[in-house]
Structure 1
C-alpha cells in the first residue's frame, strides 16, 4: 500500500473529488476563518499586549482562552465537516501536562493535526510552535503568531540560539500551561531531501533513514536544557496519511486526507539524558523508531496499539463557533458604526505592520 506521495499532488488521486459544493463550502470556511481571526486580533491583540505589562501569566491565560475558541473550528472542520478520520494509537496521555512535542514532518499541514490531539486534552489554546521566520510575515496569521509567542528561526544557529534561549526562558513558569511543538527535521519530507539526508548520514556514521529525515538536534537540546525543570514529559508524535499527503487547500476544500494516523509516545522528562550529547543521541534514536513505525504503517495500513480517544464534541464545537461568530459580529458592527473604533482598528493594523516588517526573531523577542 502506498501511504504518502510527498513530491507532487495529483488531483486524480484525491480521496474525494473537488465538487462545486466542496469548493463553495471551503471558500466560505476560509473567509470565516480569516475574517474572525482578523477581528479577534484587531480588538483583542492590543489588549493582550498591554496586559503583559501587568501580568504575563494572566495575559497568556486570556490569549490562550480566545485562541483555543478560534482554533477549535479547525478540528471541527477536519473531522465533522470534511469527514477526515483521525486515528490515535500508542499512549493515552493525561490531561493538561506541560510538554515538549517532537513530530515528524510529512507535509505542510502536519502542524494543524496536532490541534486534534490538543483539543481532546484540553490544551488547544496552549500550543506553541517553533517555526521558520518567513511564516511570521503571513498576512493576518503572522500577526497572530507574534501575539501567541511562537518562536521563529532563520535556520542559522548563530542567530537562532540567542533568540530561542531568550524566548524559551519566558516559558519557565510551571503555572503557564504549555504545549511546545518542534519539528526536528527542520523541513517537510521529500524524496530529494531524503536522499541528501541519507548521504550525509552515511558520511558521518549516523543511521540511514528512509521515511524521515535525520533530525537536527541543537534546537531540541536547547529546549530541554532551558525548560527541563518545568516540563512534565516529551510527547513523541509520528504522523502518517493514507493515500497521499494533503496540502493546505486539500484540508480547506475537504478533498484529502481520508485518514490521519497519529502515534503518541509519552516519555517522562526524567527519562531523557541531561547532557547535550546524550540527548542528541536519544533524539536520533527516537527518529529510528519513527522510521520503523512508518515502515510498518506502509505495510499494515495502521500503527499498532490503536487507542480509544473520544471524538471531537459536536455540541461544544458549535458553541465555541457561535461565540466566535458573535464576537466577530459585535466587533464588525462597532468598526463600522463608531469613529473611535475605526481609529482603534487602524492603530491595531499599524501595530501589526510594525511587527511584520521587522525581522521576525527580533520582533518576537521584543514582544516577550
Structure 2
C-alpha cells in the first residue's frame, strides 16, 4: 500500500470512529464481566478472581498498547541491565517510579509492562474521580487501583490498605507511582522551583520536586512482599518530528521513546522516613542529570558518574495486542456497522437520529479519553498545592 494512502487511512476520522467503537464497546462488555465477578467470585476466591481479571484487564489495556506498538509503529529504546532483565523483570512484584513529563509516557510504561508480561497486573495511583470514567476508570475500580483524593490525611489510610491488598497478588504485579504528582508544565515547574528555594530542597531543571508522602506511606505494606523498586526515566529527543501525544499516536505517527530503568532491591530503601524522603529526591536529582545529558549531548550517562552505563536495546513487540484488537474488531464492528446501516437506510428521521446519536456518543467518549491525557488540559495540581512535601 502506498505510504501516503496508509497515512491518510490512519488519520481518517471514520477509522478513528471504528477504533473508538471497538475499544469502548469491548471495554463495556469486559467491565460488565468484571463487575459480576467482583461482587460474586471475589467474595469467595480472591486469588481466582485476580487471575481471571488479569486477562480481562489485558484485553482492555492491550488495545491502547496496540496504538503505540502496531498502529503508530513507535519504537521503545530500553536502557537496562540485560542480566537483571532476564532474571527479574516480570517475575516479581515491582514498584515502578516514573517521571511524568508527557501525555503518552504512561502508555510507554504500559508497552514496557506488556513486553515483560505483566500488563494484565498493571496498577497505579490515580485521582478518585477517574474511577467513574467508562472502560478504563471502571476497569481500574474493579482491579483495585489506589484511588486518591489528593488530601494526604484522607489518603494515608487508604494507601496502606490498598497497597497491602496489591502486595498479596498471586502473580507478579507492578504498581506505578508518579512522585511528581502531576504532569510537568512550565507553570508547575516555576512553582516547584519557588518551593525548593524556600525550603532548601533540590532544584530540578526538567522535573518537579517529587512528593514523598505517598511513597513513604506505601512502604510498610510492601516490606517483605514487593521485591524491588524499578526506577524509570522516559525521555524524548526534542528534534524528533512527532511529539509524544495521544493524538499523534492515534493518527499513526511514530514516536521514539528512550526509557532508562534500573532495579533497586527494596532492602536498599532506608527505614527512616527522613531517609526515604531523601531517597526519592536523590533519584530525581539523578533523573534530572540524566535527562540533561540526553538533551544536551544525546547521552543519558554524560553527566552522571554514579550510574552504570548500559546500552540501549529495542525490545521486540509481541503479537498479542494486535490479535486482541483484530478479534474485538470482528466481534464488535460487524454487528455495529450492520445495525447503524439499518438505522441510516430506514428512511425514517427517528431511526436516523438514533444512529447519529450512537456515533456522537462514541466520538464524545473518544475525545474525552484524549482530553484526559492532553497536557494542555491538565489539572492545576502542582501550582497551588505545594504547601509541604
Q: Same fold (TM over 0.5)?
A: yes
Stretches of structure 1 that go unaligned for 5 or more consecutive residues are 1-16, 333-368
User: For 1:270, which of 261, 267, 280 is the aligned residue?
Assistant: 267
Against the structure 1 CA distance between its residues 44 and 179, is the aligned structure 2 distance closer, same or farther, given a 3 Å change threshold? same
Structure 1 residue 223 displacement after superposition:
1.5
Work out which of the two has the higher radius of gyration on C-alpha atoms and give 1 or 2: 2
Other-structure match for 2:70: 80
After superposition, the C-alpha distances for 1:50-91 in whole angstroms (9 at most, x for unaligned) are 111111111111101221233223323212221211111133
Structure 1 Cα separation of the partners of residues 232 and 60 of structure 2? 24
- Which structure exhibits the higher relative contact order, with contacts defined as CA atoms closer than 8 Å and separated by 6 or more residues? 1
1:210 to 205, 213, 219: 205
CA separation of 1:325/1:54 partners in 2, compared to 1, >3 Å: closer, same or farther? farther
Q: Which of 258, 275, 278 is residue 281 of structure 1 equivalent to?
A: 278
Provide the rounded CA distance (Å) in 1 between the counterparts of 2:204 and 2:217: 24
Query: Which residue number corresponds to residue 189 of structure 2?
Result: 194
What is the match of residue 57 of structure 2?
A: 67
Match of 1:233 among 182, 207, 228: 228
CA 1:331–1:223 in 2, change beyond 3 Å: closer, same or farther? Answer: farther
Provide the secondary structure at the position in 1 that maps to 2:12. Answer: helix
Q: Which residue of 2 aligns with 1:258?
A: 255
1:294-342 Cα distance to aligned partner (Å, 9 max, x none): 101112345353332531123x33333355457768999xxxxxxxxxx
- The answer to whether the 8 Å contact 1:70/1:321 transfers is no
CA distance in 1, matches of 2:331, 2:51: 18
2:315 to 310, 317, 320: 310
Question: Where does residue 35 of structure 2 map in the other structure?
Answer: 45
Cα distance, 1:161 vs. partner? Answer: 0.7
* Aligned counterpart for 2:141 among listed residues 146, 149, 152: 146
In 2, the alpha carbon distance for the partners of 1:247 and 1:322 equals: 24
Task: Go from structure 1 to structure 2 and tell me whether the alpha carbon gap of 1:27 and 1:295 turns closer, same or farther (over 3 Å shift).
Answer: farther
Residue equivalent to 1:58: 48
Moved over 6 A (4+): 329-332
* Superposition deviation, residue 141 in structure 1: 2.4
Residue 22 of structure 1: which of 3, 8, 11 is its match?
Answer: 11
Deviates more, 1:172-181 or 1:195-204: 172-181
Query: Once the 2 structures are TM-superposed, how far is the Cα of residue 251 of structure 1 from its aligned partner?
Result: 2.4
Deviates more, 1:323-332 or 1:163-172: 323-332
CA deviations on 1:104-146 (whole Å, 9 max, x unpaired) are 0112332121111111111010110101222222233221121
- Alpha-carbon distance in 2 for matches of 1:252, 1:31: 14
Query: Which ranges of structure 2 fall in alignment gaps of 5 or more residues?
Result: 1-5, 302-309, 337-389
| Distance in 2 (alpha carbons) for counterparts of 1:91 and 1:160 | 35
1:366 aligned partner = none
